Structure 1
Amino acid sequence: MIDKLEFLLALAREKNFGRAAEQCGVTQPTFSAGIKQLEATLGVLLVHRKSRFIAFTAEGERVLEWARGIVADSRAMRQELRALKHGLVGRLKVAAIPTALPMVSALTTPYRAKHPNVTFTVLSRTSIEILSMLENLEIDAGLTYIDNEPLGRVRAVPLYLEQYRLLTSETSPLGDRDSVTWAEIAKIPLCLLTPDMQNRRIIDQLLREAGGGVPDPTLESNSMIVLFSHVRTGRWASVMPEKLADTLGLTEHLRSIPIVEPEAVHGIGLIVPDREPMPPMAAALVAEAKLLAVALR
């Protein structure tokens, strides 16, 4: 039964029988037969399909909810039994919003020192994608905003407050200032993250409230590295979190200027699914997050 529920989760992620079968490491006929066997066992139709996947039925959506819980518990049980014999072993998957990526090493480095048999996969994703991946059991934890948009059924460990800086050349019109306002920033060309990023939505709102209208950046990217590399040329300006700017490093001709009026801050934290018992590897990551939160105060 568990393997058939895993099939269902893969289908929910991929919305395609072929790709879901590949993800599960089986042929498409085997995958389709598994879904049909699950339907026969439960006595309901789970999937609307013709020659391809169309949608889950109402019953399929409810079974999908149960499947997420059952599969998560099954994985957690196997992980805990393995940990009892060998300590923590396995791969921990974490997704982080681009602005929080530099903080991931502050969690993974002490974690690996204590649990050397755990390896990591770290992905850069939007805040919306992180919540979806947690729900569909694609990742174990996320690093994201915890106070700006709804999070749903997760457990959050607050880590730090994201504060914003104008990154610009010292020779730019605002480059000699000790602080700048959002209203002043709204009048200069900026390179910013793409609109699907929550950081961009936060900045857009702040600029609109400052009277700048709808922001029209000169360059957009879903990569902070791309933005920062343009700013480092001295010919572009951007708004970035303080910790990110400090981590990436400034050239001697580049300035990081505090933005005031208003002084905007947003909480960043670690989130994991709100389930008990918590999988051992995720529980160990939560423990590291709590230690990091104390160190960052």
Structure 2
Amino acid sequence: MSAPANQLLSERLIDVGATLSWYRHGCGDPTTWLNVVGRGVTSTGEMIRATRTPDGPGTLRIGWSDSPDTDVDGIPGISLAAYGPGAAWMLKQASRMLGVDDQIDHELENDRQPAVAKAARNGRSVRMGASGDLYHSLLPTILEQRITIGEAHNQWRQLCFNLSEPAPGPFTRLLLPPEPGVLARQPSWWFHPLGIERKRAEPLQRVAQHAAKFWDWAVLPASEARAKLHLIDGVGQWTIGNVLGPALGDPDAVAVGDYHLKNMVGTVLASEARATDERMLELLEPYVGQRGRVVRLLQMDGAAAPKFGPKKRIPPMHAW
């Protein structure tokens, strides 16, 4: 069982900055700001996140430091503040975002595979937190389908700048994710000047149409939430594998269909520079239940597949 919240945080057994990092999509994410000073359990910083909740728009600020003057429910060093109609919901969700409920008795630090054991030791303070917000996680993840991560992050910014409104609270230029009704009403051609072609625009609209259901889906077991998400056309294995971790805290979620991930796993676990998705899942089979955690820890530990040949320039969609 995981330690109580006060022990985890007062003894600095959670690397807060690294744990919160997977809620942000790029350094310029207009909905989620993250500032971390230092590294590991001794870091300080703050995360400010604006989102839509079952109760309405809300903004949450999580600050952490070594100062005993800040205190949340007896936990020194952590300060919380929330704004807007969704403030109470976001405050309630904060401990889950910090990964306080994450079960860490996985024994990965003693794994027979040296790379996994090393990554687990180096990342022992990183938790699998959960935002509880499928809608917010799905939008930028859908944009990351089929294109480079830099392009996707820019498109996420542009989508929010064009369709969103300012977030509650005193944070200038912080934006909410697009309101589902507004996003669903946009015709597919509206997205093209942003570089978003029809194959990604239509899933964005479908997700917006189903947004009200996601609050119920977010409290389901991960396997049931996965099955529900598969019902949405354009939301496939890759998108679901990337969303179930940060939204639901699923430690087993793996992004099948990723261009680089299968090669990283093949390189680290079998010294194979190139692999298939089937081979990746075969190599991860001993870690069923913790496959997503293993992949995340390896990535955070710097694991990567070797690169061959020159980089290829990929023109943005509007230049095709």
> What TM-score range do you get, normalising by the shorter chain?
under 0.3
Q: For the pair shown, which has the larger CA radius of gyration, 1 or 2?
A: 1
**Higher RCO, Cα 8 Å, sep 6+:** 1
* TM, length-normalised to structure 1: 0.22
* TM, length-normalised to structure 2: 0.21
